[in-house]
Amino acid sequence: MRYSGLTMKDDGRLHPMTVAIREIANIFGRMGFGIAYGPELEDEWYNFSALNVPADHPARDMQDTFWIKDKNNHVLRTHTTSVTIRCLEQMAKEGIEHMRMIAPSKVFRNEATDMTHEAQFYQLDGFAVGKTGEVTLAHLKGTFDQFYREYLGENAKVRFRPSYFPFTEPSVEIDVWYEPKGKEGRWLEMSGAGMLHPNVLKNAGLDPEKYAGFAFGGGLERLIMVKHGVTDVRMFHSGDVRFVHSFEETSA
């Protein structure tokens, strides 16, 4: 698109991450999900231990972690699942019986960066918890089926593959079938998910005999990259004004 004319509006632009989160908040909002926040600098309990990732467990290797200097047992959160555990604690404390939340926020991983890896990126984490039997793995599938159809288009569909995360049991990878207009469709690995592990509920103070629910988490940049054809994840948080102005923008 080219601009022309002295009359051009002095146009401000939202960052594509904000635009995506607005759309996502809308879709999940209609499915009853609120939006939760938590600290980026977490202690080991909320990032690992409460999520059933004990010290000296090989599962710790699944996420390369930034540790804080001179502050024992503190990390930059490696996932926003730390927000989930805080919400579950709130459920236990306040006697709330149902909760659905998403936490679309920044997380950190100590990994070499390239076109598809950044040491800081956004994650879309979330959960739905209710009385045992009210929220099942089938609901996880239904939720993502709807989310992707609304966000990526009517042709989108999801499939699960078995996986492992210490904080869910069963654990699955969510793949989405994405068919961009005029292009061939393909399966994309989008999110990890599963039914919350009873130890996680217990650690938050909930009775795992009475409550159950699903949780999920996946990179947000990747979703935006797929949808809009962004080629390099490092552009997102580069502070480069060119990136924000590189999308055609229309009001919805």
Partner 1 sequence: MKVSRTWLQRFFDTELPSAEEIADALTFHVFEIEEMEAHGDDSILDVKVLPDRAAYGLSHRGVAYELGAILNMPLKSDPLRSELPENSSTNELQVQIENPDKCLRYMGALVRGVKVAPSPAWLKEALEAVGQRSINNVVDATNFVMLNIGQPLHAFDANKLQKKDNRYSITIRGAYEGEKITTLSGDEYTLVEDTLVIADANADTAIGIAGVKGGKAAEIASETTDIILESANFDGTSVRRASQALKLWTDASLRFQNRPSSELAAYGMRDVVALIQEIAGGELIGVIDEYPAQGYTQNPTVQISLDDINKRLGSSYGIEDVTGVFNRLGFSYTQNGESFAITAPSERRDIVIPEDLSEEIGRILGYDQIPPTPLPPVAGMPEQARYRGIERIKDALIERGFTELSTQSFAKEGDVYLANPLDTTRPALRSSLADNMREALTRGVTVAPRVLGPATALKLFDLGMVFAKNGEHLSLSIGYMPLSGKKQSILEEAADALRDLVPSITFTASENVMEANLDEVDIVTLGADYTPAPVRLGAFRPYSIYPFALRDIAVWTPAGTEEFEVEESIVKEAGELLARIDLFDRFEKKDDNGDVTRISYAFRLVFESSERTLSDEDLNPIMERVSAALNARDGWEVR
What is the footprint of partner 1 within residues 198-237 (CB under 8 A)? Answer: 198, 212, 228-231, 236-237
Distance CA 75, CA 185 (A): 39
- Does residue 124 interact with partner 1 by CB under 8 A? no
Out of 94, 95, 133, 184, point to the residue binding partner 1 (CB under 8 A): 133
- Type of residue at 248: E
Which stretch in 43-51, 78-86, 190-198 sits in contact with partner 1 by CB under 8 A? 190-198
* DSSP strand pairing (74-76 vs 41-43): antiparallel
* DSSP strand pairing (34-35 vs 99-108): parallel
Out of 114, 156, 172, 215, point to the residue binding partner 1 (CB under 8 A): 172
Sequence-separated (6 or more) residues with CB below 8 Å from residue 61: none
Which stretch in 43-51, 78-86, 158-166 sits in contact with partner 1 by CB under 8 A? 158-166
- Does residue 134 interact with partner 1 by CB under 8 A? yes
**124-145: b (≥16 Cβ within 10 Å) or e:** bbbbbbbeeeebbbebbbebbe
Out of 93, 186, 210, 245, point to the residue binding partner 1 (CB under 8 A): 245
Q: With contact defined as beta carbons under 8 Å apart, do 174 and 142 qualify?
A: no
Question: What are the two backbone dihedrals, phi and then psi, of residue 40, each rounded to the nearest 5 degrees?
Answer: -80, -30
- Does residue 252 interact with partner 1 by CB under 8 A? yes
- Does residue 251 interact with partner 1 by CB under 8 A? yes
Query: What separation, in Å, do the N-terminal and C-terminal C-alpha atoms of the chain show?
Result: 18
Q: Measured from the CB of residue 78, what is the shortest distance to partner 1 in angstroms?
A: 13
Out of 92, 120, 151, 188, point to the residue binding partner 1 (CB under 8 A): 120
Q: Which residues inside 32-61 make contact with partner 1, applying CB under 8 A? A: 32-37, 39-41, 56-59
Which stretch in 43-51, 78-86, 140-148 sits in contact with partner 1 by CB under 8 A? 140-148
Q: With contact defined as beta carbons under 8 Å apart, do 148 and 174 qualify?
A: no
Structure-token match 């739905």, residue found: 128
- Does residue 5 interact with partner 1 by CB under 8 A? yes
Residues in contact with partner 1, total (CB under 8 A)?
Answer: 109
Smallest CA-to-CA distance from 102 within 75, 120, 83, 74 is with 83
Q: Between 85 and 118, name the residue whose CB sits nearer to partner 1.
A: 118
Q: Measured from the CB of residue 205, what is the shortest distance to partner 1 in angstroms?
A: 19
Question: What are the two backbone dihedrals, phi and then psi, of residue 164, each rounded to the nearest 5 degrees?
Answer: -140, 125
- Does residue 182 interact with partner 1 by CB under 8 A? no
- Does residue 15 interact with partner 1 by CB under 8 A? yes
